[in-house]
Amino acid sequence: MKTSVKLFAFLVALLGVFSCAASRSTPQEPWRIEVVTTGGFAGRGAGNYAVDHEGSVSAKLFNGNSCTFRLTEDELRRIRELLAKARPREWKESYVPENPCCDRIEYTLTVDEAGVQSKTTWIDDPLPRPADLVALADAIIGGEAASIRMLATTRCER
């Protein structure tokens, strides 16, 4: 009976540790997210974009222009919240299909949280990816106006 109680207490404590890890409210600092693209029809990818915990962005656009800028507090909060929900250590190394075919853009996303790096790769028309990866990638390289890629197209032209 005592062994059962001890085992139960251990399992409850263990579940508490995992639930705390799964529901973190902020990512570990310093953090940095980078998306590097290659390939595609022109062979130049769709640009490279990086953002860090202070809101500093470095961008190299498709046209070759490069710039740096700072996110607003609201823009940074959005990225921070997505990273806090993300589980990069659970992502596969690659979501590239066995036969990727031709003229696809390849995306490599690297997350560095307090020196712990996770890296994953996919292409246009990838294998199914986890929702947290899709959300974070879209916030960086997506086509919506609030993505870092789209913000860079206007802020790098100034």
pLDDT of residue 90: 97
d(CA 106, CA 72): 29
Q: Is the pTM of this model over 0.75?
A: yes
Q: What angle do CA 63, 106, 138 make, to 5 degrees?
A: 80
DSSP-derived letter for residue 27 is P
Domains of the chain (ranges, CATH numbers): 26-155 (3.30.1560)
Per-residue model confidence (pLDDT) at position 75: 97
Return averaged pLDDT per consecutive 10 residues of the chain, 158 residues in all: 50 44 75 95 87 97 92 97 97 92 91 97 92 97 95 86
Query: In this structure, are residues 107 and 141 in contact, taking their beta carbons and an 8 Å threshold?
Result: yes
